[in-house]
Amino acid sequence: MPLKDWLLALCVVCLWGLNFIAVKVAVQTVPPFLLTAIRFTLVALVLAPLYRPARSQWKGILGVGAVLGVGHFGLMFVGVSGMDAASAAIITQLGVPFSALLAWLFFGEPLGLGRSIGLILAFSGGALLAGEPSLPSIVPVLILVAAMLAWAASNVQVKKLGDINPLALNGWMAVCAAPMLAVLSLATETGHAELPARMMADWRPWAGIAYTVIGSSLVAYTLWYGLLRRHPMNRVVPVTLLGPVVAVAGGVLVLGEALTWQKLVGGAITIIGVAVVQFLGGNHQPPAEPEPGT
């Protein structure tokens, strides 16, 4: 790739990595399901009027909205609200080995010895992170793991959809997911009446929402899909392995999170395992969400 495109790829990775910081800041004020609903509402308002999928794809998009929009993003925001952003960013990398396992189960894609070792490394690193002393309990980790399993399941759904404009999928998946998340927020979360006053008193949740919608969703995806159009996927996708590095650095420097040996060792093992899975058997990269958890 030319230098300009390498710099664009690094810019995308930084935008996605710092998105964990933005989400962590926002969920301190806005309940996580409601935050996800707001994000998708704004994304839908921007993208849905510009793109329209085929009529035969509507049912599949509705399923993607439930699994990716609610199951992945909703649960991911819940998980991030209960743990530090750095650990969350590393655990979200487990979406890649989960995708490899589901591709093996549903499409018969071979694992092989090398990728099997990569799966073991990735999950071992995640298990080490689960013992990180700053975590209040194992529950947020389990919720985040469930979110990544949903991300992997959405890959199967997207593959069955066939050819579809990624921005059309993002926009109309958001249309489907936003009302589901709003209902879920009303049913399970509290403090909605007091939220406007809390939002007016603090600029930080506004900044977090603006970043996750504009920076992570609109700007990063536009740059990313342009890179995928110009270059082979296996040339640009590995750059996303730097995303957790950016998130860990941001968590430590911006949010003041502790840099423990579990983050360093567990994160390194996880990223190495994910790299092995990607390099040895194709990239399980969903058109809807290239970087898991962003």
Query: Do the beta carbons of residue 188 and residue 70 sit within 8 Å?
Result: no
Which 3 state secondary structure label does DSSP give 206? helix
Domain ranges of the chain: 3-281
Q: Is the pTM of this model over 0.95?
A: no
Distance (Å, whole) CA 64 – CA 72: 10
Here the tokens at position 220 are 């990063």
Helices (DSSP H) in the chain: which residue ranges? 3-27, 32-47, 58-64, 75-81, 85-91, 95-107, 112-130, 139-161, 166-188, 195-200, 204-210, 220-230, 233-236, 243-253, 261-281
CB neighbours of 113 closer than 8 A, spacing ≥ 6? none
Which run of H or of E encompasses 58?
helix 58-64
pLDDT tens for the chain, 294 residues long, are 788 988 998 898 899 889 999 999 999 999 999 999 999 999 999 999 998 888 888 999 999 999 999 999 999 999 999 888 888 888 888 877 887 887 788 777 777 888 888 888 888 887 887 777 677 778 888 999 899 888 888 877 887 887 888 888 889 999 999 999 999 999 999 988 888 888 888 888 899 999 998 988 888 878 887 887 787 766 777 777 788 888 888 888 888 888 888 888 888 888 888 888 877 754 444 444 444 445
Nearest to 280 by CA among 249, 243, 251, 238: 238
Nearest to 36 by CA among 68, 82, 84: 68
Predicted pLDDT at 233: 63
